[in-house]
Amino acid sequence: MPTFRRRLAAVTAVLALSVTGGAVISPASADPREITKVPTATGYGGAVSTVDPEASAAAIKVLRNGGNAVDAAVAAAATLGVTEPYSAGIGGGGYFVFYDAKTGKVGTIDGRETAPATMPTNAFINPTTITAENPTGSAYPFAQLVSSGVSVGVPGTPATWERALERWGTLDLGEALEPAIKVANRGFVVDETFRQQTLDNKVRFSAFTPTRELFLPGGDAPAVGSIFHNHDLAKTYRLLAKKGTDAFYGGPLAAEIAATVQAPPKDPTWVAPAPVPPATAPVSIPAFPGFLTTSDLASYTTIDQEPTHVEYRGYDVYGMAPSSSGGTTVGEALNILEPFDLTGMSAAGALHHYLEASALAFADRAKYVGDPLFVDVPTKALTDPVFGKERSCEIDPGLAAVKPVAAGNVASYDGVCLLAPASAVVETDTENISTTNLTVADKWGNVVEYTLTIEQTGGSGIVVPGRGFLLNNELTDFSTVYEPTDPNRLEPGKRPRSSMSPTIILKEGKPFLALGSPGGSTIITTVLQTILNRVDLGMTVSEALAAPRASQRNTENISAEQEFIDAYAGDLEALGHVFTKAGDGLTSLPEIGAATAIEFGPKGEMIAAAEPLRRGGGSAMVVRPSK
C-alpha cells in the first residue's frame, strides 16, 4: 500500500545501507568487542537477529562452527544475560519455540517462572488495609512489590537452555556458554541504552548492596564507551558449564538464591533521595522478604507442550500456548481479521480493524487465560476460526467500539453474530516493558524464536551476592488481589500469565517468517501488527518492523508511538479511537517493543531484521552475506 510506504521513508532510510550486508568484520588490530549494529542482513547459511551485536556475534560464531539454531540461540541468550542484564538472564524465565526441519513440526518449551509452594494468595496485600468495608484489602504499591523478594518467582531460564539443548541441540550447555563467558570476562562496550537503563534504576539499585557494587561503580552508571566486566557472572556460568543446571537448582548457589529472596540484601544505611518533581514523596523500598526456598528450586521443571496454531491468509501461524497468552491472543486476533480484505482498505481502515480485533482478543484473554495446570483454559475455542468469525461481527467498519469490550462466549458459538455479548472484564496490566527476544535459523532450515525476561527493566533490582545476575520480579504479573474467578489469580506453584509471543509462520510447510518482541502486554500487539504489516499491507520484513506502532489492549485509550499519532491519529480519531503517547510509566520511553525477525526466501536465502532505532537499534547478522 503506497500510503504506508511513503510514511515509512524516514525510518527505512536507516535500513538502506544494510539490506544486503552482513556483520561488519573489524581488522585484526581492532578491538575484538562487537559494537557495530546492522539492522538488516541478507544471506545464506544461517541468520540471527537480537538487540545486541555481542549476542548476535556469539550466535553466528556457533553457526559457522557447525552448531545448529538451538545451540546458537542458547549462546546468544546467555550473552544477552551479560550485555542486556536488565532484560534477561538466568534469574528469569521465558518461552522457546522451535521449528524442526527434519520433521516439519513446531515444538515449544514453557520455561516460565513459578510461584513458590508456600506463597500465600494474599502475599501482595497490605494487612492494614483489610477492613469490614474492604475485606480483601488493598495491594501494596506496585513500586514496592517490584523491588522485593516477594515478587521473585522460581527462575526457569537455566532449565530452558538445558532442555532445549537436550531435545534439539548438538552442543552441551558448557559449550553453548563459552561465548558468554568470554564476553563477561573481557567486558563489553557500554552504550547509551545500557547507561540510561542503569540511571532509570539508580535509586532502587543503590538500595541493594550487591546491585550497587555491580552496576553503580563509584556511585554512578557506567559511562558510554567504557568497558563493563561481570566476572561474577562469568564464574557462575563456568559453574553451570562444569556441573550443569543441577548447580543452579541445588547446592550452594540454590541456597544463596533462596537466602537472597528471603532476606533481600538491602543496605541498612540506605536513605531514599529527595523526590524529583512531579513526585511529592521520597521513594520507599521496604524490600519485603519473599517465599522462594531451595525446595522450590529443586522441584522446578520446564514443560514441553504443543504450540498454538491458526491459519491466516494461507499461512500456518504457530505460537506459545498458555501459560503464555501470546499464542491464543495473537491467533484469535488473526482469526478475527481473516474475514476482512485489509489489503483493499485505506491505511486508516486496515488499522481500525487491527485495533478493534486486538481489543476483542484481549477481552477474551482477560476472562479465560491463565496457567492451564490451575485453570481450565479454552485454548481450542480461543483459536477456533469459527469463534474468531463470530467475534469479528463485533467490528463496525465505521466506528470504534466503546472500551472495554465484552468477552465472547467460548461455551457456545457458531460463527453467527451475537445480539448481546457478555459483560466486560477489566484487566489490570502489571506487565512491564523489559524482556528481550531473539530469532535464529541455521543452514539446515531449523528455526528458533525465543523470548526471555526478568520482567521489570532491572527485574527485582536484587543481585545475588557474588553471582553477577539479577533476580526476576515476575510474580507481579499475577493479579494483586485474589479473585476466585480470575484466571490469573495468585496461587502457590502457579505460573503467572505472560504476553510473550514467540511466533513461527510456515508457508506450505516451510518457514516463511519467525518473529517476536519484548514489551510487556504490548508484545502481543507488536507481533500482531508486524504480521499485518508484512502479510496484508505489503511491507518488507524490515519495513514491517520499523513501522510506527499502536497498541490497543481493550482500554479506553490506545497507547501509540508519536510517529503513529502523527501519521494516522487524525483519520482514526474520526472513527472514535482515542490515543495517548506511549510510555512505560517509569521512564516514559516513547517506544513500543523491540522486535526481531527472520524471513525465508527462495533457495535458502534469509533476511534477518532487527529494529533500526528502538532501544538504540538491533543487530542482524548472516553466516554468508549476499553479494
Residues designated catalytic: 435
Burial class (CB in 10 A: 0-12, 13-18, 19+), 8: buried
The rounded distance, in Å, linking the Cα atoms of 345 and 473 is 43
Neighbours of 189 (CB within 10 A): 18
Q: Which amino acid is at 46?
A: G
The rounded distance, in Å, linking the Cα atoms of 365 and 325 is 7
Q: What is the DSSP letter of 595?
A: -
Q: List beta partners, residue 585.
A: none
C-alpha cell at 319: 505460537
Instruction: Give the containing element (helix H, strand E) for 126.
Output: strand 125-126
E-strand stretches of 261-375: 303-305, 308-312, 315-319
HSE toward the beta carbon, residue 277, CA cutoff 13 A? 0
The rounded distance, in Å, linking the Cα atoms of 50 and 618 is 6
CA–chain centroid gap for 291, Å, is: 25
SS3 541: helix
Place of cell 564476553: 183
Asked if 551 contacts 558 with a C-beta cutoff of 8 angstroms, the reply is yes
The rounded distance, in Å, linking the Cα atoms of 53 and 617 is 10
| Closest CA relative to residue 598, chosen from 433, 453, 435, 445 | 445
Q: Describe the chain by its helix, strand, coil percentages, rounded to 5.
A: 35, 20, 45
Cα distances (angstroms) measured from residue 531 to each of 6, 346, 407, 435: 19, 17, 24, 20
The rounded distance, in Å, linking the Cα atoms of 487 and 323 is 11
The rounded distance, in Å, linking the Cα atoms of 202 and 35 is 25
The rounded distance, in Å, linking the Cα atoms of 476 and 469 is 19
SS3 219: helix
Q: Can you state the angle between helices 326-337 and 385-392, rounded to 10 degrees?
A: 60
C-alpha cell at 563: 510517529
CA–chain centroid gap for 332, Å, is: 19
The rounded distance, in Å, linking the Cα atoms of 591 and 249 is 36
The rounded distance, in Å, linking the Cα atoms of 627 and 625 is 6
Angle at 254 between CA 170 and CA 251, to 5 degrees: 80
